Amino acid sequence: MTTHKRLVLALQPDMLAICRLEPTAHISEDILNGNFVAITKTNEELSIICPQDNIPEEVIYTKGWRCLRIEGPFSHDTSGILASVLTPLANAHLSVFTTTTFDTGHILIKEENLNHAIQLLTQTGHVIRSENKVTVPYAIQ
């Protein structure tokens, strides 16, 4: 039995990369191609999450990430949404990368850890959907 809200997470089809650029770097509009792109800028860096086929040239990056999108939207005063997903993953020592949009959250998990993460999340009551109809172990299609 779970003590948190059951969430639906949608497995996104793209294999993603997380890129680090200098904060003043120019980025091409081509980077925006894909189902999921996130751009964050601080005084120290410009970070881009994009399909790994769109990695800009001459940047530091890690690739092989998959994205689970928490189906929302959620009110901005709702608490515990990310925690209910991240806690079982942290307890299993699975590293993740998270980002949010106005409406919802996105959890990036390395491809080699994806099946384990899905198993953990479904065992804690969450539902995982695969948008590209690929059979995903432990998931409800």
Residue whose pair of structure tokens reads 């003590």 in the numeric block: 3
- Low-confidence residues of the chain: pLDDT under 70: 1-4, 131-141
Q: Omega into 73 within 30° of 0, i.e. cis?
A: yes
Domain that holds residue 124: 8-130
137 domain residue, yes or no: no
pLDDT of residue 141: 44
pLDDT of residue 2: 40
Both tokens assigned to 61: 């990056």
pLDDT of residue 70: 92
pLDDT of residue 48: 95
Q: If residue 122 lies in a helix (H) or strand (E), which one and from where to where? A: helix 114-123
Residue 1 DSSP one-character state: -
User: What is the C-alpha radius of gyration for the chain, rounded to an integer number of angstroms?
Assistant: 16
1 domain residue, yes or no: no
pLDDT of residue 68: 96
95 domain residue, yes or no: yes
Question: What is the total count of domains within the chain?
Answer: 1
82 domain residue, yes or no: yes
Tell me how far apart the alpha carbons of residues 49 and 106 are, in angstroms, rounded to a whole number: 11
Residue 117: which CATH number? 3.30.2130.10
